[in-house]
Structure 1
Amino acid sequence: MPSSPPPAPPDALRAAAVALLNLTGLGLGYLLVRRWIPLAACLAATAVLLLVALPADADGVPGSALVVYSVFLLLAALHGASVGLRTRLVWPGQRPVALALGVVLLAVPVGGALWYDSAHKEAVERALLDRLAAADERVDAAGRKDFATAKSAYQDALAVYRDLAVHHSGSRAAGQVPDRMRTYYTTVAAAYGHKDYCTAVEPLKYLRTVPNSMPRDQLGTLTHWPDDRLATSLYQCGAGGLADGEGDWVPQFGELLDTFPDSGQAAKVVPAVDAAEKKAAKAVSGKDPCGAVKQLEALNTQILQLSNGTSAEADGLVKVAGRADRSGDAGKYTCGVKQYEDGDYAQAQATMQQFVTDSPHDRNRDRARKISIGAEVAQTLPAAGKKLPTMASGGGISVTVRNDSPDEITVLYTGPVTGSFTLGACGSCEAYSFASSLLPGWEPCGDSGKNYPQRTISLPPGTTYFVHKPKNDSTASPGSDTAKLRYGYIYTECAYTTQSLGSSSY
C-alpha cells in the first residue's frame, strides 16, 4: 500500500476555499486539509495579536505588529491555497459549501476589526477627556496662586486646550473646550472680580494674548473680553495711586491712554489728575503745607511725563501741570512759615530763598525775604526765632555797625524790624589773634586812625538780634550780638575777626 493517499486532481475552487478559511486567522483551511502544525501556527499568531491588542487603549496596536500579522495571514492563505489545490477536504465534502463557509467566516476578523476600531476610538475619547480634566485641574490649582507663580501652569493648560481644539476637533473633549475657556478666563482674571485692580492688570494683559494661539471660533466673545476690564483696571490702579499720593501712577495712565485712547476710562484721566492737583493745592492751607508742596511738585513732574506720551489728552494734562507748578511755588511761602514756626530754621531759610527765586511777582515775596533773614539769624541765635519777622521798618533809635575786619561782611538783624546789608572790607584792618582779644583794655573798632566801613540804621526799641559773617568765606563762624534797644541811647555794633589754630570767627 502507498504511504499516503495519492494527490487529488487539481481543484482551484478547493484551493480558494482553503485560502479563504486561513484568512480568518484561525487556520481553518489547514484544519480541513489535516495540516496540524500550520494550524497551530495560525492559532498562536492570532493569540499573540489578541494579547497585544486587548484591552483596547488610546495607543492602539503597534503598526509593526499589524504589518507582521497581515503578512503572516497572506502567506498562510497562499500556502493553504497551494496545499488545497491537490488535497481533498476532510469536511465538508462539497467544495462550494467550503468556499461559502470561508466567505461567511471572514466576517469574524472583519467584525473583530470593526469592534476593535470602535473600542479604540472610545479609548481615545476617554484619554482626551482625561487630558481635558487634567488641564482643568491645573487651571483650578493655578487660580489659588498669584499670577506670576501660576503663569506657566496657565500656559500649559492653554496648550492642552489648543491641541484638543485644533488636532482633535471632532472629539467630545474638543466640544467642551469653549466652556472651559470661559472658566479659564474668569480664573485668570479672578483679581478683577475681587476689585484688586492693580493685581488684575498683568493677568488681563496676558488674556489679551490668548487669541494669538487659540482659534477664535473657540473663544467667541472672549476674544475682546479682557479689553474693557483691563482699561478699568489700569484706570482704577492709577487713580488709587494718584489719590494716595504714593507710588508712580504714570505707567498705568500712560498705558491706558496708549492702548485704549478712545475708551471711557481714558476720558477720566485728565479730570482725575485735575482733582488731585486741586486737592493738593487746597492742602497747602492745611496742617502739612510742606507735604502738599512736595506733592504738587511731584504732580507737575509726573503729569508732564504723562503728557509726553499722549496726544489726545496732552493739552489738558499740560494745563494741569502748569497749575500744579504755580500752586507749588506759591505754597512754598506757607511751607517756609510752618518750618520757621516749628524751629526748623535752616530748612525755612532754604525754602524762603527758593520761593523768592521762583516767585518774583508774588505778593509775599518781600516778607519771604525777611523771614529768610530771620531764619538765618535764628540758626546762630535761636531766641531770634520766637517771633515771625514782619514787614515793619524804621524806628527812632540809631545803631551804627562798623567793620573792623579785612573781609567784606554781611550784616543780618531781626527783631521788631528785620533786614540785612553789606559792609565793605577794612583795608587797613587785620584779624585779631585769640590771645590779643583776652588782653585788658582791648577794644575792636577803637583805632581812631582807621576809617572803618560803617552804616547807621534806625530801629525801634526792643530786642534786636545781630549776626555778621564774611561774604565770601562760608567756613568762618559768624559773629552775633543781642541788643536791647532803648530810647535815649546811641548804639554801635563792631564786626571783627579772631583767628585760632587755623580757624577764624567773627
Structure 2
Amino acid sequence: MPSGPPPAPPDALRAAAVALLNLTGLGLGYLLVRRWIPFAVCLAATTVLLLVALPADADGVPGSVPAGYAVFLLLAAVHGAYVGLRTRLVWPGRRPVALVLGVVLLAVPVGGALWYDSARDEAVERALLARLDAADKRVDVAAEKDFAVAESDYRDALAVYRDLAVHHSGSRAAARVPARMRTYYKTVAAAYADQDYCTAVEPLKYLRTVPNSMPRDQLGTLTHWPDDRLATSLYECGADGLTAGTDWVPQFGYLLDTFPGSEQAAKIVPAVDAAEKRTAKAVAGKDPCGAVERLRSLNTQIIQLSNGSAAESAGLTGVAGRADRSGDAGEYACGVKQYRDGDFAKAQQTMRQFVTDNPHDGNRDRARKIAIGAEVALTLPAAGGKLPTTASGGGISVTVRNDSPDEITVLYTGPVTGSFTLGPCGSCKAYSFTSSLLPGWEPCGDSGKKYPQHTISLPPGTTYFVHKPKNDSTATPGSDTAKLRYGYIYTECAYTTQSLGSTY
C-alpha cells in the first residue's frame, strides 16, 4: 500500500483559499489540509502577539512586533498556498466555499487591529487626561505656598498644558486646556482677588509672560487679563507704602514705565502730592522731627522716581520741590521740640541748619538764639530750662574781659540770649592749674594790661555764660552762672588754664 493518498491535481483556487485562511492568524488553512505542526505554530504566534499587545496601553507595542507578525503571516500564507496547491481539503469539500470562508475570516485580524487601535487611542486619551489632572493638582498645591516658592510648580503645570495644547491638539485633554487656563490665571492671581495688592504684584508679572509660551488661541481674552490688575496692584501697593513711609518708588516706577497712559498711572502725582501735604501738616503735630525726616525722604524718593521715568516728570518735580521747602521750614519746629526735650546737641545742629536753609524765614532770628541757648546748655544744663526768645537789652551792665592769648566766643542765655567775640590779649598767657590755687590770685587783675572787653546790658534774673576759644575745639569751655540785680555792675573774666596737657 502507498504511504499516503496520491497528490491531488494542482488547483489554484484551493491554494488561494488555504493562503487566505492562514492570513487570519489562526492557521485554519493548515487545519483544512491536516498540517498539524504549522497549525500549532500559527496559534502559538498569535497567542504570543496577544499576550504582548494586551491590554492595550498608551505606549502600544514596539513597531518590530506587528512588523514581525505580519511577515510571519505572509510566510504562512505563501507556504499554505504551496501546500494547498496539490492537497485536498478535509472540509469544506467545495473550494469556492473555502475561499469565501477565508475572505470572511480575514475580518478577524482586520477587526482585531482596528479594535486594538481604538483601545490604544482610548488608553492615550486616559493617559493625557491623567497628565491634565496631575497638572491641576500641582496648581492646587502651589496655591497653598508663597509665589516665590510655588513659581516652579506653576511653570511645570503650564508646560503640561502647553504640551497638551500643541502636541495633542485633538485630544479630549487638549479640549479642556482653555478652561484649565482660566482656573490657572485665577489661582495664580488669588492675592489680587483678596486685595493683597503687594503680594499680587509678582504673580501678575509672571502671568504677563505666559503668552510667550502658550498659544494665544488657548488664552483668548486671558492674554491681556493681568494688565489692568497689575496696574491696580502696583498703584495700591505703592500708595500703601507712601502712607506707611516705606519704599514705594519701585511700584510707582514700574507702573509709569509699563502702563504710562493708564488710569492708575495718572493717580500717582495726586497721591504723592497728598502725601506731601499730609506730612507737611504733621510738622505742627507731636513729632515735628519725624515729619521733617519723612519730608526729606519723600523729596529724595520723588526725585528718584522723576529721574527714572519721563511720564509725570514735571508734576513729580514740583511736588519734590515743595517737600524740600516744607522740610526746611519744619526744621524750626523740630529744633524747638529737641530743645524742650533736653536734646541740646541736636537742637543746636537743627537750628543752625534752619538758619542756613531759610535766610528769609521769620523765625530765623529766634532760631539763631535757640542755637546759642542749646550750646550754653551743653555746658550748663540748667540754662536749657526755658526756650530762648528774641528779647534784647536791659538795665544791668555786664562787662566781659579776655585774659587769655586766644580769641574767644562768649555765649549767654537767660532772659536775653546772644553771643559776641573778644580778640586775644596779646600780653596774656595761659595760667597753670597750680597758680590758680594760690592765695590772692585774680584773673584780669593786672592794672598794667589792656584787656579786650565788651559790655552788654541785661535784664535782672539768672544769666548763664559760656566762654570758649574760637579756634580750639578741644579746649573745655569756661562757664559761669550770674544772678543779676539792679544797682550792681558786673564783670566777667575769661582766662585759660592748663593742666596735664588739657586746656580750660
Shorter-chain TM-score bucket reads over 0.9
The one-character-per-residue Cα deviations of 1:49-86 (angstroms, maximum 9, x if unpaired) are 11111111111122121111111111111111222222
Give the partner amino acid of 2:322.
Answer: R
Q: What's the CA shift string for 1:69-118, capped at 9, x where partnerless?
A: 11111111111122222222222222222111111110011011111111
- Superposed CA deviations along residues 203-228 of structure 1, whole A, max 9, x for unmatched, are 01011111111111111111111111
In the alignment, what sits opposite 2:172?
Answer: 172
Aligned twin of 1:186: 186
Taking the aligned partners of 1:82 and 1:480, their CA distance within structure 2 comes to 136
In structure 1, the partner of 2:478 is 479
Cα distance in 1 between the residues matched to 2:241 and 2:347 = 29
Distance in 2 (alpha carbons) for counterparts of 1:239 and 1:75: 83
Look up the SS of the partner of 1:494 in the other structure. strand
Report the residue type matching 2:107 in the other structure.
A
Instruction: Select between 94-103 and 411-420 the one with higher mean Cα deviation.
Output: 94-103
Where does residue 498 of structure 1 map in the other structure?
497
The answer to whether residue 406 in structure 2 is matched with residue 407 in structure 1 is yes
What is the SS of the residue equivalent to 2:440? Answer: coil
Structure 2 CA distance for aligned equivalents of residues 64 and 432 of structure 1: 115
Q: Secondary structure at the residue paired with 1:9?
A: coil
Distance in 2 (CA, whole Å) between partners of 1:129 and 1:354 is 73
Deviation at 1:5, TM superposition (A): 2.7
Larger CA deviation: 5-14 vs 102-111: 5-14
Q: How many residues align?
A: 504
Q: Distance in 2 between matches of 1:281 and 1:130?
A: 62
In percent, how many aligned pairs have the same letter? Answer: 85
Q: What's the CA shift for 1:396? A: 1.9
Amino acid at match of 1:177: V
Alignment of 1:274-289 (within 5 A): 274-289=273-288
Q: Secondary structure at the match of 1:176?
A: helix
The question of 1:132 aligning with 2:136 is answered no
Counterparts in 2 of 1:125-164, with a 5 A limit? 125-164=125-164
Aligned-pair CA distance for 1:427: 2.1
Amino acid at match of 1:439: L
Shift of 1:8: 2.5
Per-residue Cα deviation, 1:321-355 (whole angstroms, up to 9, x for no partner) = 00000000000001101111111111100000110
1:369 aligns with 2:373: no
- Amino acid in the other structure paired with 1:490: I
Q: What does residue range 345-424 of structure 1 map to in structure 2 within 5 Å?
A: 345-424=344-423
- Counterpart secondary structure, 2:195: coil
RMSD of aligned Cα (Å):
1.1
Task: Give the partner amino acid of 2:157.
Answer: A
Which stretch shifts more, 112-121 or 203-212? 112-121
- Listed one character per residue, the Cα deviations across residues 108-149 of structure 1 (whole Å, up to 9, x for unaligned) are 110111111111111111111111111111111111111111
Q: Does 1:244 align with 2:232?
A: no
Q: Which AA in structure 2 matches 1:167?
A: H
Q: Tell me how far apart the structure 1 counterparts of residues 164 and 134 of structure 2 sit (CA, whole Å).
A: 13
After superposing the two structures, state which structure 1 stretch, 69-78 or 200-209, moved more: 69-78
- The answer to whether the aligner puts 1:434 opposite 2:447 as a matched pair is no
Q: What one-letter code is carried by the residue in structure 2 that aligns with 1:41?
A: V
SS in structure 1 at match of 2:264: helix
Deviation at 1:161, TM superposition (A): 0.8
Deviation at 1:6, TM superposition (A): 2.8
Output one character per residue of 1:355-380: Cα deviation in whole Å (capped at 9) or x when no partner.
Answer: 01111111111111110000000111
Question: What is the Cα deviation at residue 312 of structure 1?
Answer: 2.7
Which residue of structure 2 aligns with residue 454 of structure 1?
Answer: 453
Partner of 1:39: 39
Aligned to 2:321: 322
> How many Å apart are 1:7 and its aligned residue?
2.6
Question: Would you say 1:82 and 2:82 are equivalent positions?
Answer: yes
Offset, 1:4: 2.6
Cα distance in 2 for partners of 1:194, 1:318 equals 34
SS of residue in 1 equivalent to 2:156: helix
**Gapped regions of structure 2 (runs ≥ 5):** none
Q: How does 1:465-476 map to 2 (within 5 A)?
A: 465-476=464-475
1:218 correspondence with 2:237:
no
Tell me the amino acid that sits aligned with residue 388 of structure 1.
L
Kindly state the Cα deviation for residue 163 of structure 1 after the two structures are TM-superposed. 0.9
Distance in 2 of aligned mates of 1:56 and 1:190:
41
| Deviation sequence 1:4-59 (CA, Å, 0-9, x none) | 33333322222211111111000111111111111111101100111111111111
More deviation, 370-379/396-405? 396-405
State the distance in 1 between where 2:11 and 2:455 align.
Answer: 152
Amino acid at match of 1:287: K
* In 2, Cα distance between equivalents of 1:418 and 1:243: 41
State how far apart, in whole Å, the 2-side matches of 1:470 and 1:343 are: 25
For residues 408-447 of structure 1, the C-alpha deviation after alignment (integer angstroms, 9 at most, x for no partner) is 1111011111111111122222211111111111111111
- Corresponding residue number in structure 1 for 2:49: 49
Q: Which runs of 4+ in 1 moved over 4 A?
A: none
| Aligned residue number for residue 91 of structure 2 | 91
How many Å separate the matches in 2 of 1:478 and 1:499?
A: 12
Alignment of 1:104-115 (within 5 A): 104-115=104-115
Q: Which amino acid aligns with 1:140?
A: D
Q: Secondary structure at the match of 1:264?
A: coil
Q: Point out the more displaced range, 184-193 or 114-123.
A: 114-123
Q: Which amino acid aligns with 2:350?
A: T
Output the TM-score relative to the length of structure 2. 0.98
Q: AA paired with 2:82?
A: S
**Residue identity matched to 1:418:** T
Alpha-carbon distance in 1 for matches of 2:407, 2:6: 149
Query: How many Å separate the matches in 2 of 1:21 and 1:11?
Result: 16
The letter for the 1-side match of 2:270 is P
Q: Which amino acid aligns with 1:281?
A: A
Aligned to 2:265: 266
Moved more, 417-426 or 8-17: 8-17
Letter in 2 for 1:447: D
Opposite residue 454 of structure 1, the aligned amino acid is Q
Matched, 1:19 2:19: yes
